[in-house]
Amino acid sequence: MLRFLLFPFNLGRLCARSRGSIFRFFLGMERFYYVGVQPSAACLHSPPTLRRLCTIAGMAERSKGDSVERVHCNNCRTGTDHRIVKTISDSGETEAEDYWRTTFDMLECCGCHEVVLRRRFDFSADPEPDIRYFPPPVSRHPPRWRYRLPSDLRTVFDEVYLSLDANTRCLPIIGARTLLDMLIVQKVGDVGSFKQKLKKLEAGGFVSADNVEILDAALDAGNAAAHRGHAPSVSDVNTVMDIVENLLQAVYVLPDMAQRLKKTTPPRPGKKTTP
């Protein structure tokens, strides 16, 4: 009977006219199925269009009561809508009768479905809540070619990115200087001061004269953070990371990639000689 009543009509027009009532009806059929009661054959054996409408109706009904917030998504690399999947909280009072409350929210990105845990701590004596995310928001994504680095360099490289994710500035810039020092020692040896090492690196053909000046600026920024109490800005940190990553890629990654590219590139045909 259901098949006879519904399918002579255009389902799109029916949904538009009913303003969602058709979805609520399908949702009722879906719930009827989930409780274990056998629904009519018209719903179970209906065309795929009707089954998809039942699914959409169920999703819409289940998300109706969900709370949605705008949170940074590391996978989407921007702020996206997140659905609060679960919330757990605890509260109490101190001996000084100060009130505290800790709330954990599990949030799911509505785009890529990545999950993040948020911890919020409220204390009556502190007007600003302490809010932290696990994993923390990523400020800079590591390059994919890092897996081609030597193991010792990659270990330090990953630690630098962990310090970036922790929203620090001095530590990553000091770590970037360490990466430069390790690269120079591996390629030309421990030959004195940083300026002498850069000159040796230039003489070995690893960098150009212009790049020596650029690397010297990155090394000086790392020295200032390590020895002179310099607090670099976010822009300064990203600039140093750009310089260091470009050198690491040029020395350890691009030569092998260029060789593979040559092998897969067909040779240029030779010139025909006229008799």
All structural domains of the chain with their residue ranges: 2-63, 68-134, 144-263
Task: Give yes or no for residue 61 having a pLDDT over 70.
Answer: no
pTM, entire model? 0.61
- CB-CB contact of 28 with 39 (8 Å): no
SS3 for 238?
helix
Report the alpha-carbon distance of residue 181 to residue 201 in Å, rounded. Answer: 11
User: For residue 91, which of 124, 126, 132 has the smallest C-alpha distance?
Assistant: 124
Residue 205's region, left for phi above 0, alpha for psi from -120 to 50, else beta, is left
**Rounded alpha-carbon distances, angstroms, from residue 33 to 26, 36, 52, 56, 120:** 11, 6, 15, 15, 40
Helices (H) and strands (E) in the chain, counts: 11, 5
Predicted local distance difference test score (pLDDT) of residue 74: 87
Angle at 250 between CA 212 and CA 138, to 5 degrees: 100
Task: Give yes or no for residue 140 having a pLDDT over 70.
Answer: yes
C-alpha atoms less than 13 angstroms from C-alpha of 39 in its C-beta half-sphere = 17
Predicted local distance difference test score (pLDDT) of residue 275: 60
Q: Residue 124 gets which letter from DSSP?
A: T
Which element (helix H / strand E) includes 86?
A: strand 78-93
Predicted local distance difference test score (pLDDT) of residue 141: 86
- CB-CB contact of 114 with 104 (8 Å): no
**Rounded alpha-carbon distances, angstroms, from residue 222 to 157, 158, 180, 188:** 15, 17, 10, 21
Report the alpha-carbon distance of residue 30 to residue 107 in Å, rounded. Answer: 27
- Tens digit of each residue's pLDDT (9 = 90 or more) over 202-243: 888 888 888 889 999 998 998 899 888 888 898 899 999 999
Give strand pairing partners of 232: none
User: For residue 118, which of 63, 65, 167, 71 has the smallest C-alpha distance?
Assistant: 71
Mean pLDDT rounded to a whole number for the chain: 78
Angle (deg, nearest 10), helices 194-203 and 209-227: 160
SS3 for 108?
strand
Q: In the predicted model, what is the mean pLDDT of residues 166-195?
A: 89
Tokens representing residue 254 in the block: 């691009």
